[in-house]
Amino acid sequence: MFLKYGPDPLYWLKYVSRSGRGYQTNAIFLAGLPAIPARRARPPA
């Protein structure tokens, strides 16, 4: 699910749209990797 939807529904869409650096007929170039969601403390049991 992380790779399909990400932490939120726009995660991968934002990554693709913000990191686009051009394209050619058979490839689209992206710069960098998406940000990793911040770690959160495990809630107490």
6 φ/ψ sector (left φ>0, alpha ψ -120 to 50, else beta): left
Is residue 9 near another protein by the rule CB under 8 A? yes
Q: Using CA atoms, how far apart are residues 30 and 16, in angstroms rounded to an integer?
A: 7
Whole-number Å distance between alpha carbons of 4 and 26? 22
Contact flag: residue 31 with another protein (CB under 8 A): yes
- Is residue 25 within the footprint of another protein (CB under 8 A)? yes
The answer to the question of residue 38 lying near another protein (CB under 8 A) is yes
Residues of the shown chain interacting with another protein in the complex, contacts defined by CB under 8 A: 1-9, 11-14, 16-17, 20-21, 23-34, 36-43
